[in-house]
């Protein structure tokens, strides 16, 4: 697909959102892995910034994480909460949102991925790891 459409596949947008939301954690996992190389994640970021093969670089990063001993690869980071990975019982959310929905949500500034973030009273709005701009605010 042209124009970076390869990231439009459901797993592509989810995985790119995971990279953005958990960039430092993924970098640390790669450094601590057998290869000790952060190159795969840097290639994902470069492809997303330059309109390159995002789907291909995401697949490589996913495979590298799996080969390093993480069977879930990038899919283990796709929780969309901005929190760290871990178990989360069904029906329990750790986003800090009560039963009433927030009036605003923050989204990927370029619409490249499925990342979102719920506003939190004392937390600054996160930045996109690809463009270094803050997430885009949208009214629900």
105 falls within a domain: no
Question: Which domain, by its residues, includes 68?
Answer: 5-77
Structure token pair of residue 32: 């601590």
66 in a structural domain: yes
Q: Which of 126, 106, 130 is nearest to 48 (CA)?
A: 130
Q: Is residue 51 part of a domain?
A: yes
Taking the model in full, what pTM does it have?
0.64
Specify if 68 maps to a domain: yes
127 compared with 69, residue with greater pLDDT: 127
What is the rounded distance in angstroms from the CA atom of residue 58 to the CA atom of residue 61?
5
Whether 121 maps to a domain, the answer reads: no
Alpha-carbon span 69 to 140, nearest angstrom: 39
Residue 21 has pLDDT above 80, yes or no: yes
Question: Residue 78: how many CB atoms within 10 A of its CB?
Answer: 21
How many domains does the chain divide into? 1
Tokens representing 41? 């994640």
Tell me the per-residue pLDDT of 109-125, one tens digit each, with 9 for 90 and over.
999 899 998 888 888 99
First to last CA, the chain: 30
Whether residue 100 is contained in a domain is answered as: no
């Amino acid at each position: 697909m042209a124009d970076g459409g390869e990231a439009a596949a459901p797993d592509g947008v989810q995985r790119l959102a995971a990279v953005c939301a958990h960039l430092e954690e993924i970098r640390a996992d790669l450094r601590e892995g057998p290869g000790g190389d952060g190159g795969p994640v840097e290639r994902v970021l470069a492809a997303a910034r330059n309109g390159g093969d995002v789907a291909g670089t995401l697949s490589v990063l996913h495979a590298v994480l799996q080969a390093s001993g993480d069977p879930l690869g990038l899919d283990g980071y796709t929780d969309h909460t901005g929190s760290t990975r871990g178990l989360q019982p069904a029906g329990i959310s750790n986003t800090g949102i009560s039963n009433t929905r927030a009036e605003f949500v923050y989204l990927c500034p370029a619409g490249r991925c499925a990342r979102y973030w719920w506003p939190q009273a004392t937390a600054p709005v996160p930045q996109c790891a690809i463009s270094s701009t803050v997430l885009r605010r949208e009214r629900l």
